[in-house]
Amino acid sequence: MEINATLLGQLITFAILVWFTMKYVWPPITKAMQEREKLIAAGLEAAERSKRELEQAQHKAISIIQDAKRDASLVVDAAHKRSLQMIEEAKESAREEGNRLIAHAKDEIGREVNQAKTILRKQLSQLAVLGAEKIIKHNLDASMQKTLLDEFVAEL
């Protein structure tokens, strides 16, 4: 074991290596490592947050679906009620229309009966006049005949 100038040479090499590492190696590497640590922490935090948000969104979706279901059942009920009502209304109006038509037809029938009666009355009176004319042709003049005929018609 002997100590010689190699010691000085190694001292210089060592000093330069330490200086180089301190200046050009250590800072960039540790900086990047710290950045990565921050990045990972942020990533984990974001994952946690999005998990929470997902949970909230699921709750929200469930409540929206429940609302929608409730709304839909309300709408269906309303529509059902409305259709029943419409059916009732339609029945009502149909009944009214029928009654109206029946009344109208009755009126028509009455009028036609009257008309027929009048016509029959006239024909009968003519037939009666014809008969009477044939029977009493000679005794009556035309004016007398007319008076009698009118009385006869009025009595019918």
Partner 1 sequence: MSQLPANYIEHHLTHLQLNLNNFTIGNGGFWTLNLDTFIVGLITALLIAGVTRYVAVNMKVGVPGTLQNVVEAAIGFVDRSVRDTYHGKSQLIAPLALVLFLWIFLMNTLDLLPVDFIPSLMRVAGVEHFKIVPTADPNMTFSMSITVFFLILFYNFTVKGWHLGKEVLTKPFGPWLFPVNVFFRLLEEVVKPFSLALRLFGNMFAGELIFVLIAMLPWWSQWLPGGIWAIFHILIITVQAFIFMMLTIVYLSMAHDSH
List residues binding partner 1 (CB under 8 A): 1-11, 13-18, 20-22, 24-26, 28-30, 32-33, 35-36, 39
Is the CB of 34 or the CB of 115 nearer to partner 1?
Answer: 34
We find the least distance from the C-beta atom of residue 2 to partner 1, in angstroms, to be 8
Distances (CA, A) of 37 to 33, 40, 42, 43, 49: 6, 5, 9, 10, 18
The alpha carbon of residue 115 and the mean position of all alpha carbons in its chain are separated, in whole angstroms, by 55
Cβ distance to partner 1 smaller for residue 1 or 154: 1
Cβ neighbours of residue 122 under 8 Å, at least 6 residues apart?
153
Residue closer to partner 1, measured from CB, 9 or 131: 9
